[in-house]
Amino acid sequence: MSATPTFTAGVVGASGYTGGEVLRLLEGHPAFEVVQATSREYLNKSIGHLHPNLRALPLRFSSPDELESVDVLFTATPHGVSMANIESYLEAAQLVIDLSADFRLSEVALYDTWYDGHVAPEYLSQATYGLPEINREALTDASVIGCGGCNATVTMLGLYPLALSGWLDEADPIVVDLKVGSSEGGTASGAAASHAERSGIVRPYAPTKHRHEAELEVYLDIEVSLTGHAVDMTRGAAATCHVFVDEPPSIKELWGIYREAYEDEPFMRLVSGGGGIYRFPEAKVLAGTNYCDVGFATDDDRIVVFSALDNLMKGSAGQAVHAANIALGMPETTGLEFTGLHPVGAP
């Protein structure tokens, strides 16, 4: 008899990048058995047809209209799909973990403001935010988990210790400069996403009013001015947060603040100054891992916080599996132990 309990899992929207990452993680997870992966567009195609790293997975894409009963259903669909189908998802599984934006926010008014409304607002009250560092205790008895947005996650994890320690005053401006890889755009293509256009770019996008600012308002109770840039990498999100203050704490104090917040967190690492090749967080070395690296510096009138992660992992699929581990009572790092590659080319 196996010492590890086995949970069955299904992945809805498994043809996309985050769906593929969930499949990869579950395939290597000792406690999960993947029984279904759905895709309307690639019905009956093998998983390896779209995710070549998963050629050995003996599954074909099936229809999301015929969901099998599972212990956990991961939904990696475009925004708007999960909210429209949440009832059938909950009929298929006791625990639904949604990687889209559909259950991240707690109130329908926020969806009216930041998204295009919500068609199943009655389910928002039973949804739990999926970022463990912010909301660990609530995950243990969750039935619907809404994972954090990748850009919100990287920004929030950078600023969270400052919020905890009272350094984020609403009167002090916070400016976030974000660089993101192309996989954040998913598999949808268009002229702007072609290699000829996207290679080599530092392209501003969502220059103001980025949707992920909503999560910072809800979960950290702060307002930030966030601007994103699409840069020439496939995986990765890196945030540089400028917190303007009258008199910043010392570097030694910041070490204490960040250590206190993250010393027991298995996926949070402090990378700040010091020696070595990478003295501050670098998204490239985090590709494929569930780590978020955070660092900081100070100037006369500001605290500068750097944070980086793999948007498909800590920013989405890894966060989802981390949340599942907690919800199911497993050791948090199960199936998420990969430490990355070094050296490595552009991820």
Partner 1 sequence: MTDEACIVCDATVALPADVELGEIVDCLTCGSELEVTGIDPYALEEAPELEEDWGE
Determine if 79 is a binding residue for partner 1 (CB under 8 A).
no
Q: In whole angstroms, how close is the CB of 255 to partner 1 at the nearest point?
A: 4
Q: In whole angstroms, how close is the CB of 214 to partner 1 at the nearest point?
A: 34
Among 77, 71, 23, residue whose Cα is nearest residue 50: 23
Cα separation of 48 and 57, whole Å?
A: 7
Determine if 264 is a binding residue for partner 1 (CB under 8 A).
no
Q: Which residues contact 316 (CB under 8 A, 6 or more apart)?
A: 18, 21, 76, 99, 147, 150
Judged by DSSP in three states, 326 sits in helix
Q: In whole angstroms, how close is the CB of 273 to partner 1 at the nearest point?
A: 6
Q: With contacts defined by CB under 8 A, how many residues of the chain interact with partner 1? A: 13
Cα 100 to chain centroid distance, Å, stands at: 10
In this structure, the number of other CB atoms found within 10 A of the CB of residue 281 comes to 27
What is each CA distance from 183 to 21, 74, 86, 223, in whole angstroms?
12, 19, 26, 26
147 is catalytic: no
Determine if 260 is a binding residue for partner 1 (CB under 8 A).
no
Q: In whole angstroms, how close is the CB of 266 to partner 1 at the nearest point?
A: 16
Q: Nearer to partner 1 by C-beta: 119 or 297?
A: 297
Contact 303, 248 (CB under 8 A): yes
Q: In whole angstroms, how close is the CB of 284 to partner 1 at the nearest point?
A: 16
Q: Nearer to partner 1 by C-beta: 203 or 259?
A: 259
DSSP state at residue 118: -
- Given the residues 147, 150, 241, 292, select the one marked as catalytic: 150
Determine if 316 is a binding residue for partner 1 (CB under 8 A).
no
Judged by DSSP in three states, 240 sits in strand
Position among 92, 96, 261, 270 found at the interface with partner 1 (CB under 8 A) = 270
Phi, psi angle pair for 222, to nearest 5°: -135, 155
Beta strands in the chain (DSSP E): 7-12, 32-38, 61-62, 70-75, 93-98, 127-129, 144-146, 174-180, 202-205, 225-231, 237-244, 268-270, 292-299, 302-309
Position among 275, 329, 343, 345 found at the interface with partner 1 (CB under 8 A) = 275
Position among 42, 205, 244, 255 found at the interface with partner 1 (CB under 8 A) = 255
* Amino acid in the structure at residue 41: E
Q: In whole angstroms, how close is the CB of 240 to partner 1 at the nearest point?
A: 14
Determine if 342 is a binding residue for partner 1 (CB under 8 A).
no
Identify which range of 8-16, 24-32, 101-109, 248-256 contacts partner 1 by CB under 8 A: 248-256
Determine if 252 is a binding residue for partner 1 (CB under 8 A).
yes
Determine if 279 is a binding residue for partner 1 (CB under 8 A).
yes
> Residue numbers of the site for partner 1 (CB under 8 A)?
251-252, 255-256, 259, 270-276, 279
Question: Which residues are known to be catalytic?
Answer: 150
